[in-house]
Structure 1
């Protein structure tokens, strides 16, 4: 191990000088790195804290929840006065106190339907600190589409697991899901595929010590990934906190799993989803691919709701995941309504006159277009400034 160290007894100690004693360490590489952290709960707090201590240059924190008293015993970045605040806001604020040179931006958004593919394409490393399968599937599919690995963490009681998924070369998160996992995921939806608002995410029993262990491994894998070193790709580090045993498991790639193909090619457009009508994008796609090109969205979108009892339909434009059973109750008779969904859009659709945001497309997303086997994808980079904010300033020094 001594050969891997660079020790100069005359050198003055800077903030990161102890890290730089590691032979392969490149602090400038970390200072220029962009991290997407999804989830600012117990795991997310530890991930963000570790990234700040390590001098990671830019962090985008995504979370849609608010701080409760129960978060205070498991989240190092929150204080009692923060209760009721958005988690992403408070986490970003405290991370800056740890490392004032850190550039960190909070984003209050639901990863399932509010987060487009743009932030995934922007990031050098993607870390998940989540507590439910639906959100993990959303991250897994997005990471696969942009062709990037991601680092997952999960905790329960005194146990946990940290794992790295790279769908381009190995198994992805969905490859590890059992039949029971899929059934539990389906239970979050009604027969009409609408979200069950009354079905809250289960409260996961855990401790801050378990979070520290798992998040520590996640961030260590991120550092290795940023340096081009070998990681736990396709593997999981399993921590048994009861007996303090740990071991590595290997996952198997499923040939029939659909979540492994990256989208390409991608063209950056200086457009915003709020200011672009679907018809305008269809016209661009027709110019690039030929007449008859259709749009393909990353989420199932909702166009109408229909009451079977009243035999009446009404427009309801949104991402399907954002609409609950309660939202879909017929205003006339109170019966549950059925959603009219779509995943593609052609030029002759009346929805072509609507903006992409009105249809339910999240800001800074990537939308595909296809005609036959030929395809193109368009990134709405005009939304980048809205989401990244301070992260668009020029690179900070190492």
Structure 2
């Protein structure tokens, strides 16, 4: 039996992908071998996952923090009323297999800003974003740029939407498109990082399933072209005007002073994971490689302490900000929301840190930490966590 028939699982007559193969450049084997990271499992994410399954994409990781609500049922093709309260990522991954049993879909339930390690970005062939806030897009942009990967962003509002392709290695990235007001709004969001989820949800964007299907369709179509080595909308955006149907393509300008265009150089895969290696051992490794003055730099800011300005008290608390609840962020004495303090480097001056694991201070599984001495760097991937994050997909990676 030919490779094509093995992929399709039958004869030419019952090949489910036979119509695709009528496209001259189509290579179903490429899609079957593809590794795709989908971030966001809401209206856009549902349509993205649905399309990937219909196309016969082989391996997909679906990442999302939220759970299915009643309002999702009018905009999300993969969700059912019985799914309310379940994790969106788990439902979407499961329904993908209902559409195409040959897909291997893995959910990641967590905060993509704080809890999704760099390793998954290095694993993916293409990254598709279906989120509705700047903070998450900036986090994806940073991670994709460091991994040297192209990512395809989607955004929808009312009847309008846009699909954009960012390749930081050669063109503009998402941050290059941000203006002064965008950064001000992002900083305002970060300064209110301990708001309750209910308060944050007041800013939800009005959307329709029709617009989601169009924008996600363009995103996935660009991904298919990318996987086939065809030209994509790199550094451009497809703008869908759903009110007047005057759709068009815009081009973005690369900002030469933008900091998010530098991929990791050679990354060394370590046999340890975030929960097993000690920070002191990692720092010693970096200093062995780079010299006695090297420090460890983390891939994101981590929580160091919480301070109540009214009471004048500070609680040392290492961890991921994404895992701090509103109640934990309030002062136990007066109930005022406390101010978080962050750190992103370890220089050895705090001996207590050196006896902890990266996981103990909030570094996510399968992340990358960097040793730095001046301009010289060494990057270390905590590769032992690969199986924890990918599950069965790790066997075929």
* Alignment TM-score, normalising by the size of structure 2: 0.92
| Aligned 1:47-58 pairs, distance under 5 A | 47-58=48-59
Q: Distance in 2 between matches of 1:333 and 1:160?
A: 44
Secondary structure (helix, strand or coil) at the match of 1:155 reads strand
Deviates more, 1:320-329 or 1:336-345: 320-329
Tell me what 1:7 maps to: none
Q: Distance in 2 between matches of 1:199 and 1:184?
A: 16
Tell me what 2:388 maps to: 386
- Counting helix residues as a fraction of each chain, which structure ranks higher? 2
Q: Distance in 1 between matches of 2:233 and 2:380?
A: 32
Q: Distance in 2 between matches of 1:271 and 1:67?
A: 35
Q: Distance in 2 between matches of 1:11 and 1:359?
A: 55
Q: Deviations over 1:61-106 (max 9, x none)?
A: 0001000111111111111111111101111111101100111101
Name the CA shift for 1:277/1:319 in 2 (closer, same or farther; >3 Å).
Answer: same
Deviates more, 1:54-63 or 1:386-395: 386-395
Which runs of 5 or more structure 2 residues have no equivalent in the other structure?
1-10
- RMSD over aligned CA atoms reads 1.7
Q: 2:364 pairs with 362, 365, 371, which one?
A: 362
Deviates more, 1:250-259 or 1:50-59: 250-259
Q: Distance in 2 between matches of 1:30 and 1:216?
A: 16
Secondary structure (helix, strand or coil) at the match of 2:255 reads coil
Name the CA shift for 1:31/1:145 in 2 (closer, same or farther; >3 Å).
Answer: same
> 1:394: Cα distance to partner?
3.3
Tell me what 2:15 maps to: 14
Q: Distance in 1 between matches of 2:181 and 2:304?
A: 31
Q: Distance in 2 between matches of 1:210 and 1:376?
A: 44
Q: Distance in 2 between matches of 1:255 and 1:148?
A: 19
Contact 1:195–1:322 under 8 Å retained in 2: no
Tell me what 1:195 maps to: 194
Name the CA shift for 1:200/1:187 in 2 (closer, same or farther; >3 Å).
Answer: same
> 1:257: Cα distance to partner?
1.2
Tell me what 1:3 maps to: none
Name the CA shift for 1:247/1:330 in 2 (closer, same or farther; >3 Å).
Answer: same
> 1:11: Cα distance to partner?
5.3
Q: 1:353 pairs with 315, 337, 355, which one?
A: 355
Contact 1:38–1:127 under 8 Å retained in 2: yes
Tell me what 1:6 maps to: none
Name the CA shift for 1:158/1:290 in 2 (closer, same or farther; >3 Å).
Answer: same
> 1:310: Cα distance to partner?
4.0
Tell me what 2:243 maps to: 242
Contact 1:170–1:234 under 8 Å retained in 2: yes
Q: Deviations over 1:33-59 (max 9, x none)?
A: 000000000000000000001010000
Name the CA shift for 1:304/1:98 in 2 (closer, same or farther; >3 Å).
Answer: same
* Alignment TM-score, normalising by the size of structure 1: 0.92
| Count of residues paired in the alignment | 384
Tell me what 1:209 maps to: 210
Q: Distance in 2 between matches of 1:263 and 1:40?
A: 28
Contact 1:188–1:195 under 8 Å retained in 2: no
Which runs of 5 or more structure 1 residues have no equivalent in the other structure?
1-9
> 1:137: Cα distance to partner?
0.8
Tell me what 2:162 maps to: 161
Q: Distance in 1 between matches of 2:226 and 2:98?
A: 26
Secondary structure (helix, strand or coil) at the match of 1:327 reads helix
Tell me what 2:299 maps to: 298
Contact 1:104–1:390 under 8 Å retained in 2: no
| Aligned 1:59-98 pairs, distance under 5 A | 59-98=60-99
Deviates more, 1:44-53 or 1:364-373: 364-373
Secondary structure (helix, strand or coil) at the match of 2:190 reads coil
Q: Deviations over 1:218-238 (max 9, x none)?
A: 000000000110000000000
Tell me what 2:345 maps to: 344
